[in-house]
């Protein structure tokens, strides 16, 4: 496979697993194209044309040093210059894949957060409420991105001539879908303790538990019943609005599953009596990446996990 094929496969897998469904995404992209066509020429010049094809602007091709057949990939949760140097030491690495966004992928992280409105809507929060609360949070995240040195790792890849891509929401969607399907099979009388045990059946969380980073109850206690479980904080860029929990409770959500959670969000969830189970950040990231990496493994590509990635293959390699 070539870099473009690997990248397109990831985006397509992300679309297949998306809460919004394929048709809704096609509509979003069509709307973007129509808006683009109406832009004056000078604005078109600065427009990120990838937005017309790719609904996940935090998932990008960042550097193509040599467009060759990819046989060996180095994959990590966070790729920094250290990992680029590591690839050089290992030798024969055709492509480096970072999960967390880098370069223009990082600069566009807030763009994917609109997805959260649809996830909330899927679980019963009215779309107007979700959009109203998320609008403020999305602009806050967008401003926050300015502090980063976006191109640091991309520059390292350029200097050392490595192919580099990042796949963020595209694979977080796979993780969210996997969890959603696992949980939907369970009945709503289960208690938080049962939910933790259910998550621990997943090898990535089992391994994370061994190092003390397994699933944890942030709000509620193990005896409490889950009620309606919502996988609202696994995909969609980063944490949403802290004001959303009260609305979730009104929408009938009893427990949410997330990857990580700030104190401010935790306090709001507590006040709204919404239970919170934090599955774990790097382990949840790993789950989604693994589901994608299996597609590469099936095609004979060798995978070297690094930078926190807990590699669990679900296909024969």
Give min distance, CB of 170 to Fe ion, in A: 12
Q: Which residue of this chain has its Cβ atom nearest to Fe ion in the complex? A: 285
Give min distance, CB of 233 to Fe ion, in A: 11
Q: Is 106 exposed, middle or buried (0-12, 13-18, 19+ CB in 10 A)?
A: buried
What is the C-alpha separation between 217 and 207, in angstroms, rounded?
18
Comparing CB distances to Fe ion, the nearer of 1 and 102 is 102
What is the C-alpha separation between 90 and 84, in angstroms, rounded?
10
Give min distance, CB of 131 to Fe ion, in A: 24
Give min distance, CB of 171 to Fe ion, in A: 10
Alpha-carbon distances, residue 314 vs 181, 245, 284 (angstroms): 16, 35, 15
Comparing CB distances to Fe ion, the nearer of 118 and 285 is 285
Comparing CB distances to Fe ion, the nearer of 58 and 285 is 285
Contacts to Fe ion from residues 148-167, by CB under 5 A: none
Does the protein bind Fe ion through residue 78 (CB under 5 A)? Answer: no
- Nearest Cα to 193, choosing from 168, 211, 214, 217? 217
Residue spans of alpha helices (H) in the chain: 3-17, 22-37, 41-46, 81-90, 103-107, 114-122, 127-144, 152-159, 169-184, 192-200, 203-210, 244-250, 263-271, 281-298
Comparing CB distances to Fe ion, the nearer of 25 and 287 is 287
Comparing CB distances to Fe ion, the nearer of 233 and 285 is 285
Give min distance, CB of 88 to Fe ion, in A: 25
Q: Which two tokens stand for residue 295?
A: 């597609």
Q: Total binding residues for Fe ion by CB under 5 A?
A: 1
State how beta strands 164-166 and 216-219 pair: unpaired
Please give the span between the terminal C-alpha atoms of the chain, in angstroms, as a whole number.
16
Give min distance, CB of 39 to Fe ion, in A: 33
Q: Are 175 and 285 in contact (CB under 8 A)?
A: yes
Comparing CB distances to Fe ion, the nearer of 70 and 116 is 116
- Nearest Cα to 183, choosing from 149, 230, 215? 230
Does the protein bind Fe ion through residue 268 (CB under 5 A)? Answer: no
What is the C-alpha separation between 196 and 17, in angstroms, rounded?
23
Choices 82-90, 215-223, 283-291, 305-313; region in contact with Fe ion by CB under 5 A: 283-291
Give min distance, CB of 278 to Fe ion, in A: 13
Give min distance, CB of 41 to Fe ion, in A: 38
Choices 30-38, 223-231, 234-242, 285-293; region in contact with Fe ion by CB under 5 A: 285-293
Choices 41-49, 62-70, 84-92, 279-287; region in contact with Fe ion by CB under 5 A: 279-287
Comparing CB distances to Fe ion, the nearer of 72 and 281 is 281
Choices 115-123, 159-167, 277-285, 308-316; region in contact with Fe ion by CB under 5 A: 277-285
CA angle 1/287/62 to nearest 5° reads: 45
Give min distance, CB of 289 to Fe ion, in A: 10
Does the protein bind Fe ion through residue 285 (CB under 5 A)? Answer: yes
Read off φ and ψ for residue 255, nearest 5 degrees: -140, 140
Query: Coil, helix or strand for 219?
Result: strand
Comparing CB distances to Fe ion, the nearer of 104 and 247 is 104
Comparing CB distances to Fe ion, the nearer of 94 and 204 is 204
Residues in contact with Fe ion by the rule CB under 5 A: 285
């Amino acid at each position: 496979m070539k870099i473009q094929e690997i990248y397109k496969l990831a985006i397509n897998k992300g679309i297949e697993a998306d809460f919004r469904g394929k048709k809704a995404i096609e509509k979003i992209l069509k709307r973007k194209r129509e808006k683009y066509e109406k832009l004056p020429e000078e604005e078109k010049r600065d427009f990120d044309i990838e937005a017309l094809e790719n609904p996940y602007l935090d998932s990008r091709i960042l550097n193509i040093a040599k467009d060759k057949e990819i046989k060996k990939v180095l994959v990590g949760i966070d790729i920094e210059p250290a990992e680029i140097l590591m690839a050089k030491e290992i030798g024969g690495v055709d492509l480096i894949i970072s999960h967390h966004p880098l370069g223009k992928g990082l600069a566009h992280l807030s763009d994917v957060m609109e997805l959260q409105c649809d996830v909330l809507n899927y679980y019963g929060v009215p779309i107007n409420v979700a959009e109203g609360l998320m609008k403020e949070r999305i602009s806050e995240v967008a401003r926050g991105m300015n502090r980063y040195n976006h191109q640091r790792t991309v520059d390292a890849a350029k200097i050392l001539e490595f192919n580099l891509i990042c796949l963020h929401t595209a694979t977080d969607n796979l993780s969210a879908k996997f969890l959603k399907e696992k949980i939907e099979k369970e009945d709503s009388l289960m208690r938080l303790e049962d939910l933790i045990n259910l998550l621990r059946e997943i090898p990535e969380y089992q391994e994370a538990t061994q190092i003390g980073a397994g699933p944890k109850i942030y709000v509620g206690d193990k005896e409490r019943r889950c009620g309606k479980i919502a996988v609202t904080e696994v995909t969609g860029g980063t944490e949403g609005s802290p004001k959303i929990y009260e609305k979730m409770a009104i929408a009938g959500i009893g427990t949410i599953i997330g990857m990580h959670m700030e104190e401010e969000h935790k306090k709001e969830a507590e006040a709204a009596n919404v239970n919170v189970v934090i599955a774990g950040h790097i382990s949840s990231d790993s789950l989604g990446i693994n589901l994608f990496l299996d597609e590469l493994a099936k095609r004979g590509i060798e995978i070297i996990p690094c930078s926190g990635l807990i590699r669990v293959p679900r296909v024969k390699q």
